[in-house]
């Protein structure tokens, strides 16, 4: 089977990036955008060939054992990212100072900030998918502004229009917005918006279908 690298949805791109790659140690990356005149498929082929990305899982396993880096490539629309694990690989020499560490510099994509954070034990790293901070502040301000001017039903519909996959950090952000809304409504003596207004269950998708 040919190497699959073109996500067919925003949710699929985010899931493949965070769950399949970042969670498995692909922390070093270069992101970019295919220029408008160029054919994205030709760019895919060039990058996959340049870094020898289209290899079997057995080859990747051998690379891991011998200390060589493994590399992946992922694209949605014209946005792409090349990712690598620890180890030796031409990717690091070719990309040089453009290579970033996702543990320090999250990938910003379609309103998401996809990064990597330490777990509670302070040792292990876990992928982190959240709404970008600036965008989250805007959402919180917008909901605060309409908190006492809309009915519970209207506010439930507005929460339903927040179109971000409910990964754990996103769920925390949504709960924070709901608390702000209900704080205003409580002070005004209005009915509170129920937690059921939030969609908090993420449904996995097939990234490449």
Which whole number is the average pLDDT over 85-107?
97
Mean pLDDT of the chain: 95
Residue 186's pLDDT band, with cuts at 50, 70 and 90, is very high
Distances (CA, A) of 2 to 45, 52, 163, 185: 11, 13, 32, 55
Which whole number is the average pLDDT over 109-132?
94
* Pairwise CA distance, residues 142 & 149, whole Å: 12
Structure tokens at 3: 């190497």
Q: Give the pLDDT confidence score for residue 59 in this predicted structure.
A: 84
Q: Give the pLDDT confidence score for residue 20 in this predicted structure.
A: 97
Residues 6 or more apart in contact with residue 61 via CB below 8 angstroms: none
Handedness of CA 122, 127, 133, 137 (dihedral sign): negative
* Pairwise CA distance, residues 109 & 29, whole Å: 14
Which whole number is the average pLDDT over 46-62?
90
Q: Give strand pairing partners of 71.
A: 84
Whether residue 117 is predicted with pLDDT greater than 70 in this model: the reply is yes
């Amino acid at each position: 089977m040919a190497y699959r690298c073109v996500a067919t949805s925003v949710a699929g791109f985010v899931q493949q990036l965070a769950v399949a790659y970042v969670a498995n140690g692909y922390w070093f990356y270069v992101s970019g955008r295919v220029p408008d005149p160029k054919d994205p498929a030709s760019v895919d082929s060039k990058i996959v060939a340049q870094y020898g990305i289209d290899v079997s899982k057995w080859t990747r396993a051998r690379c891991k054992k011998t200390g060589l880096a493994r590399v992946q490539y992922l694209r949605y629309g014209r946005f792409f990212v090349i990712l690598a694990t620890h180890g030796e690989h031409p990717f690091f020499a070719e990309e040089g100072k453009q290579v970033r560490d996702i543990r320090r510099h999250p990938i910003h994509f379609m309103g998401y900030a996809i990064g990597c954070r330490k777990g509670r034990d302070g040792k292990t790293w876990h992928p982190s998918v959240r709404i970008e901070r600036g965008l989250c502040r805007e959402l919180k301000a917008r909901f605060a502004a309409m908190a006492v001017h809309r009915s519970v039903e209207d506010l439930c519909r507005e929460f339903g229009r927040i179109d971000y996959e409910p990964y754990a950090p996103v769920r925390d952000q949504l709960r924070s917005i709901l608390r702000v809304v209900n704080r205003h409504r409580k002070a005004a003596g209005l009915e509170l918006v129920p937690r059921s207004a939030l969609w908090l269950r993420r449904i996995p998708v097939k990234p490449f279908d």
